[in-house]
Structure 1
């Protein structure tokens, strides 16, 4: 009788434990996320998070037969902290898989290929480039040159007005002819048939020719310097060219680590949205951040007049962050493989990044 009772108690205990375990596995999954368009967008009209990563995690949860709830985090760091502490089942957005993060949490297999790129103002037209050269320095140089030509021409009129017909005219009528004579003297060496006849005129003409060599050299050097500076400011051929620009990135991101490693100064932002707003407003003139997010900003805001440099400076992969030794890692990886094989993944990429996007 005692043996039968013991067997019954064992069966009841096992069934109770099994029921509790089954109920626990059926609890909704809680995944932290943060606002990172187009991967995760929290401020939507419906009030429900949207985005590529949101849709992907939803498809994964459906594949493994679990309900899913998203827990918005105040910042990217807060999302990762929630994953590390185990207060959520995982985190998803645009989370780069790095060695330092892998040491503190687990990751699924990569869900998206990304990389660090640069956002720059759009290339200006030829007319805009010419307009950009009209600086105060160049304007001053032009006015000084015109003043010297007018002054030199009128001085020659004073010396030559009684010695040759070309200068024999009233002062008001001699303004342009004298200026034209001085201009041709500087550019072409003067007119042989209008060679100065008076001794003061000849002496002054020699001074004008010699001085014009320096004036023209200075003027050309000023224009060349302006063109060079304009070209340097508009072109970024390497990451080192950012030293001359006002760079922005998100603090605590892999982009910030990338810039710190190269001793490139930058303005740090808490959110990409504020950073991109400042870029559009001209407060910063370049952004170093995740390429897909920058590309989405350009496509979603055609009036922003921005372009993404094609070069990827550091390739990265995004993954789903999980607490260390998470029992769900294998399930999520298997579900992700299924989603890739059945075309769901490609459909999500097409929806959020367009049919021509290559990954």
Structure 2
């Protein structure tokens, strides 16, 4: 009776998601959901780089596992992919929030950050009549003008009091009115270095000399104040901090913590699937500002957006980023242990310096 030998099994070709940019055959492969958000995740020529990608590869190396990356269009899709267990975990610029903790688990924080504001760089534009007029309504300039009025009135009264007793004095009428008006005119003209008449008495001339030197100092101070106000008016825009966001058109990504913040603070929120679409809306003047994670905005402003945009105001709504897991994930403990190891052996610090300290993180 003949025996049948089993046919040699042919290795099956693994099915790869068309948006997966890295997949390797392994007995133990972890599927990782991510999204493109420089400098955390950068996609170039179908290959992923960035802080989050480098960090995960170091974690995977510590765990002895291989990885399949699946790129999702936005943070909502990323979280849904993990929650439905279509991916074992997710990593990108994912903020740890109490609302997300209700249905997902997170690793220990991998980065501390917060939100910041990005605006167009319009500092190279010329002064407009409106910007110049705005200077004359600034509190600083009105304070200077108030001081100027006092400086005119004080020497004017002294000169009037001294000159009214001199029959050959410069006052044509020694009465308080209209004598004080003539004294004020002389004081103001001296301030502008345009006085055409000088007091006659010796005491009045001493006061006049002191007032002349005082006028030189005041004119220099007044010029500096106006110049500073014009410069600040030119550099400042209508949005300079979080308090200026209400009722402004502000772009961000859909489902992000920044979108929640903007909605809570009465901004006109423009949500886009990807952050680069928000940048485009800003540059095309469809949005007044972009609010998003500070490291992401700083990276764009220093790289592709240099000379076009800049950040304004402080970092606000502090938050932490973490690796997201489905509930009761078998990988969470191992990932946290690997993170601790990377912090202790200096690998984490090296990656942080590479992407957030160096001038050219991709070099």
Q: Could you tell me the TM-score, scaled by structure 1's length?
A: 0.61
Distance 1:63 1:323 in 2: 21
Task: Identify the match of residue 265 of structure 2 among 238, 262, 284.
Answer: 262
Counterparts of 1:93-112 in structure 2 under 5 Å? 93-112=92-111
Give 1:34 deviation, angstroms: 0.8
Is the CA contact 1:249–1:269 (under 8 Å) kept in the aligned structure 2? yes
Task: Identify the match of residue 324 of structure 1 among 327, 335, 339.
Answer: 327
Give 1:26 deviation, angstroms: 4.1
Larger Rg: 1
Is the CA contact 1:233–1:244 (under 8 Å) kept in the aligned structure 2? no
Is the CA contact 2:117–2:289 (under 8 Å) kept in the aligned structure 1? yes
**Which residue of structure 1 lines up, in the alignment, with residue 28 of structure 2?**
27
SS in 1 for 2:48: coil
Is the CA contact 2:248–2:268 (under 8 Å) kept in the aligned structure 1? no
**Which residue of structure 2 lines up, in the alignment, with residue 80 of structure 1?**
79
When structure 1 is superposed on structure 2, of 116-125 and 61-70 the one drifting more is: 116-125
Is the CA contact 2:73–2:273 (under 8 Å) kept in the aligned structure 1? no
User: CA 1:92–1:134 in 2, change beyond 3 Å: closer, same or farther?
Assistant: same
Counterparts of 1:78-157 in structure 2 under 5 Å? 78-122=77-121, 124=123, 128=125, 131-134=126-129
Q: Could you tell me the TM-score, scaled by structure 2's length?
A: 0.61
User: CA 1:242–1:232 in 2, change beyond 3 Å: closer, same or farther?
Assistant: farther
Which of the two has greater strand per residue? 2
Is the CA contact 1:233–1:245 (under 8 Å) kept in the aligned structure 2? no
**Which residue of structure 2 lines up, in the alignment, with residue 234 of structure 1?**
237
User: CA 1:293–1:136 in 2, change beyond 3 Å: closer, same or farther?
Assistant: closer
Is the CA contact 2:75–2:254 (under 8 Å) kept in the aligned structure 1? no
- Structure 2 residues not aligned, in runs of 5+: 1-25, 134-188, 190-195, 197-229
Distance 2:284 2:122 in 1: 17
**Which residue of structure 2 lines up, in the alignment, with residue 353 of structure 1?**
356
Give 1:232 deviation, angstroms: 11
Is the CA contact 1:280–1:304 (under 8 Å) kept in the aligned structure 2? no
**Which residue of structure 2 lines up, in the alignment, with residue 288 of structure 1?**
291
Distance 1:111 1:250 in 2: 21
User: CA 1:136–1:346 in 2, change beyond 3 Å: closer, same or farther?
Assistant: closer
Is the CA contact 2:281–2:287 (under 8 Å) kept in the aligned structure 1? yes
Is the CA contact 1:242–1:264 (under 8 Å) kept in the aligned structure 2? yes
**Which residue of structure 1 lines up, in the alignment, with residue 178 of structure 2?**
none
Is the CA contact 2:241–2:314 (under 8 Å) kept in the aligned structure 1? no
Give 1:136 deviation, angstroms: 12
Distance 1:341 1:264 in 2: 43
RMSD: 3.2
Is the CA contact 1:32–1:83 (under 8 Å) kept in the aligned structure 2? yes
SS in 1 for 2:314: coil
- Structure 1 residues not aligned, in runs of 5+: 1-24, 139-187, 193-226
Distance 2:30 2:346 in 1: 24
User: CA 1:100–1:244 in 2, change beyond 3 Å: closer, same or farther?
Assistant: closer
Is the CA contact 2:114–2:316 (under 8 Å) kept in the aligned structure 1? yes
SS in 1 for 2:268: coil
Distance 2:60 2:269 in 1: 39
User: CA 1:137–1:317 in 2, change beyond 3 Å: closer, same or farther?
Assistant: closer
Residues 196-247 of structure 1 deviation map (CA, whole Å, 9 limit, x = unaligned): xxxxxxxxxxxxxxxxxxxxxxxxxxxxxxx8xx679715454231236432
**Which residue of structure 2 lines up, in the alignment, with residue 57 of structure 1?**
56
